[in-house]
Every structure is written in structure tokens, then in C-alpha cells.
Amino acid sequence: MVVERPASAHVAPSSTYGIDGDFGLCAAVRLKAELGEVPEEAVVHVDFSHTHCVRDAALAVLADIMCASKAHHVVLDGLTRHQEIVLHYLGVDELNHGEGARG
């Protein structure tokens, strides 16, 4: 899994994190730590469109991120319908979609 961080050390009001490869539990914990450094006013896009596998266990951590990040706006791109349903079951009431939803 590769997390592409924003170009500068200072996170802009809008940042995109590109997820590549296998998004498992360790990668989800790493993403959670990265997003913990994002300013509350930031809009964060997390792009899953280049993943070949998103593990359900990692979705539990992603759900925790989504529920805890009420202070800033998180947009998810490239998740499948199954992954969105799992997030809903895990307590994510409203998903913010980008343009890259997958089947």
C-alpha cells in the first residue's frame, strides 16, 4: 500500500491522499495517523481508485476515521458498493463521495 501525501509538509485546505495496491489493516492505521495531522478546516480526499484490494478489517479503521473526523470534511473516491455498505454497517451514516465510485 502506498499513501501519496500532499506535496508540501504543510497540508493545504484541500488535500488528496492516493491509496495504491492493497489497503489492509496496517495501511489503514497509517492513514489514520496521517489524517490526525490534518488541520480541522481541511477538506481531505482519500482516493481508493488505484487499489486492487480493500480489506474489510481496514474498513473498520476507516469507519473510525470517518466518525471521528466530524471537524473536517473527508471525501472518499473509488470505493465499491460493498465497501460503502460495510462502512454503513460500521456506523458511517453519510458518505461524502468524490467522482470515482466503483461497482
**Which residue carries 458498493 as its cell?**
81
Say how far apart CA 15 and CA 12 lie, in whole Å.
6
For residue 17, the Cα-to-chain-centroid distance in whole angstroms is: 8
What pTM did the predictor assign?
0.76
Q: What local confidence, expressed as pLDDT, does residue 22 receive?
A: 95
Which DSSP string corresponds to 13-81? SEEEEEEEEEE-HHHHHHHHHHHTTS-TT-EEEEEEEEEEEE-HHHHHHHHHHHHH-TTSEEEEES--H
Q: What local confidence, expressed as pLDDT, does residue 94 receive?
A: 75
Q: Tens digit of pLDDT for each residue in 19-77?
A: 999 999 999 999 999 888 888 778 888 999 999 999 999 999 999 988 876 546 888 99
Domains of the chain: 14-89 (3.30.750.24)
Q: Higher-confidence residue: 60 or 100?
A: 60
Of 38, 31, 36, 30, nearest in space to 11 by CA? 38
